[in-house]
């Protein structure tokens, strides 16, 4: 009696290996896509954080900021990367309330500043509160 695999067993084994290899290649390509998308989102968040100025008072600002004009770098690669990055800044008055009592009159105002990167759906909002007695 010969102890060998039949042709049918070899073909079934090759088909099974092919299916597993195709599934692994598909998983790898999806993971590469997700990692690249995550890197793009991280970079966009970092660009927006470069535009945030915590010393600037939230008022009624509605402007576009180019990062290469806000910061000056001696590294040419960084300057080239920041050259076309445009951040839109928009201020809004969210809510204003007044609380009156016999002793005091308290006015509270909530402002928001929205930072958004051009050609991206990533936005950051920063809220500030103003309390007047």
Angle of CA points 46, 48, 51, to nearest 5°:
115
Q: Is 50 exposed, middle or buried (0-12, 13-18, 19+ CB in 10 A)?
A: middle
Of the candidates 75, 81, 76, the one whose C-alpha atom is nearest the C-alpha of residue 44 is 81
Residue with token string 């910061």: 71
pTM of this structure: 0.67
Residue with token string 């009159």: 105
Q: What is the pLDDT along the chain (133 residues), one digit of tens a residue?
A: 577 888 999 999 999 999 999 999 999 999 999 999 999 899 888 888 888 887 777 777 888 888 888 878 888 888 888 888 889 999 888 889 998 888 888 999 999 999 998 888 889 998 888 888 8
Whole-number pLDDT of residue 1:
59
């Amino acid at each position: 009696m010969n102890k060998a695999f039949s042709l049918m067993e070899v073909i079934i084994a090759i088909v099974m290996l092919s299916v597993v290899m195709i599934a692994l290649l598909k998983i790898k390509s999806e993971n590469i896509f997700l990692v690249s998308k995550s890197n793009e989102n991280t970079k966009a968040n970092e660009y927006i954080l470069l535009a945030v100025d915590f010393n600037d008072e939230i008022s009624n600002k509605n402007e576009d900021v180019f990062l290469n004009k806000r910061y000056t770098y001696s590294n040419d690669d960084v300057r080239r990367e920041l050259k076309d990055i445009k951040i839109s800044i928009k201020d809004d008055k969210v809510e204003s309330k007044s609380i009156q009592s016999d002793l005091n009159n308290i006015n509270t105002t909530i402002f928001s500043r929205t930072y958004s990167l051009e050609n991206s759906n990533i936005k950051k909002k920063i809220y500030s509160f103003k309390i007047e007695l």
